[in-house]
Amino acid sequence: MILEKTSSEKPYPKSPSSISETLAYFGGRPVRPEGPPEWPLNDSSILEVLHQAHQTGIWGKYHGPYNDQLQDRLCDEFQCHYAFPCCSGTFAVELALRAAGVKPTEEVILAAYDFSGNFHSILATGAKPVLVDINQHNSSPDISQLEQAISPDTRAIIVSHLHGNIAPMHTIMELAKAADLSVIEDAAQMPGAVVDGRKAGTWGDIGILSFGGSKLLSAGRGGALLTSNPVNFQRMKLHCHRGNHAFALSELQAAILLPQIDKLNERNQIRSKNVRTLLKMLHPFKGLIPRTSMDEPDSEPSFYKVGFLYDSSYFDGLSREQWTAIMRAEGIAFDAGFRSLDKRSSQRCRKIGKLSQSSHAGACMVVLHHPILLGQEDDLLQIRTAVEKTTGAQPLKPHSSDPN
């Protein structure tokens, strides 16, 4: 859909005779007329399990085999002792904090560039968020600031793997162990990723998965917690028990997740291969700075979003919002990243330093949505072509394996 152009912000500040006339935003032909690929996929294996659930009537039951199968399958896939499905990934973070024993008036550390739901989950427990900056080279918490943030009131750390960037879990776990802190590892954007030889979500004391409608494992809604600590698992069950599981995942949701888990690793490999190709294609565009972890030892990210820092000076002064609107009109699903948490009231949180890197990421991050990453090279070339149209530059040389 072509967005309405407002007088307060001109979408493309160039002369009528310029390359802007070719942009779909101004009525030109889109690079990808059909728009971004649909998600979830039209998957016959999901249709089959839905048919089975309908035939047996399991879809409408409080209790059935699918949630049990899902728990077993998650434990097997993530090599943990316990998996606890629930109503959403956002609630899973709050439940993880409660299972870790976080009490009102205690503190929980998280990066100032993160999903805002994690900030609100801390508040929901009565605890106080403590914001640290992210590393200048990626979206992970700055380790030196993590150390500064620890106080006698600190009880836990939330660490998220975001936009294809892997957080340094080994270092964070060592720091947390020395300070006797629990770590909640948010792998909602990275199911199936490998971090230093282990699956993302299994480094922390409790790991988080999300099954939201846009996620790599999708059930429309839902989430799960992963742990190997029986005390944490028991606390999860006790908190959710209100005569029954008050925050449960339905049998139907559990059913459609099972075939997706079976295909997760294969699909992640396709996405990873395509991201490597895409980064080579986009290498000439210096205004898109990748924020991914593609070359970490014994690690392999998965890609719900591919993150880039956007520099408007390479795109004729287009604001991030203008540029993403233009890319959307071309049929490419680029969006702004998260808003930074650095402006949150000091009455609601404690802040370590100026949080300048988080503020910069909140203002400049753009993210590519994942469905196109299961496509072919022609789909990736469409991304490159759409980006090229926004530069106002002469056409670049044909793509080759050499990014230079």
What's the number of domains the chain is made of? Answer: 2
pLDDT along the chain (404 residues), means of 10: 40 44 89 97 95 92 94 97 98 98 97 98 98 95 97 98 97 98 98 97 98 97 98 98 95 97 98 98 96 92 98 93 96 98 96 98 98 98 96 45 38
User: Among 260, 283, 310, where does a domain finish?
Assistant: 260
158 with 288, same domain? Answer: no
153 with 283, same domain? Answer: no
Output the pLDDT for position 169.
97
114 with 236, same domain? Answer: yes
- CATH classification of the domain holding 203: 3.40.640.10
201 with 313, same domain? Answer: no
The whole-angstrom separation of Cα 169 and Cα 201 is 10
User: Among 226, 260, 294, where does a domain finish?
Assistant: 260
271 with 255, same domain? Answer: no
146 with 74, same domain? Answer: yes
Query: Is the residue at 74 inside a domain?
Result: yes
3-state SS track over the chain: CCCCCCCCCCCCCCCCCCHHHHCHHHCCCCCCCCCCCCCCCCCHHHHHHHHHHHHHCHHHCCCCHHHHHHHHHHHHHHCCCEEEEECEHHHHHHHHHHHCCCCCCCEEEEECCCCHHHHHHHHHCCCEEEEECECCCCCCECHHHHHHHCCCCEEEEEEECECCECCCHHHHHHHHHHHCCEEEEECCCCCCCEECCEECCCCCCEEEEECCCCCCCCCCCEEEEEECCHHHHHHHHHHHECCCECCCCCHHHHHHHHHHHHHHHHHHHHHHHHHHHHHHHHCCCCCEEECCCCCCCCCECCCCEEEEEECHHHCCCCCHHHHHHHHHHCCCCEEECCCCCCCCCCCCCEECCCCHHHHHHHHHEEEEEHHHHHCCHHHHHHHHHHHHHCCCCCCCCCCCCCCC
Nearest to 215 by CA among 293, 151, 149, 305: 305
Query: Is the residue at 358 inside a domain?
Result: yes
- Encoded tokens for 383: 């991304």
**Side-chain half-sphere of 154: how many Cα atoms within 13 Å?**
24
297 with 165, same domain? Answer: no
Query: Is the residue at 4 inside a domain?
Result: no
368 with 326, same domain? Answer: yes
128 with 154, same domain? Answer: yes
Query: Is the residue at 138 inside a domain?
Result: yes
- CATH classification of the domain holding 371: 3.90.1150.10
Query: Is the residue at 295 inside a domain?
Result: yes
CA distances from 219 to 29, 46, 49, 140, 260 (A): 35, 11, 13, 28, 10
326 with 363, same domain? Answer: yes
Pairing of strands 334-336, 365-369: antiparallel
209 with 194, same domain? Answer: yes
Angle, nearest 10°, between helix axes 251-282 and 44-56? 170
| Bridge partners, 186 (sequence order) | 160, 208
User: Among 260, 275, 308, where does a domain finish?
Assistant: 260
Apex 30 CA angle, 24 and 32, nearest 5: 150
Query: Is the residue at 91 inside a domain?
Result: yes
Output the pLDDT for position 264.
98
**Domain of residue 315, residue span:** 262-389
Query: Is the residue at 117 inside a domain?
Result: yes
Nearest to 160 by CA among 120, 190, 128: 190
The whole-angstrom separation of Cα 201 and Cα 55 is 35
Query: Is the residue at 288 inside a domain?
Result: yes
305 with 230, same domain? Answer: no
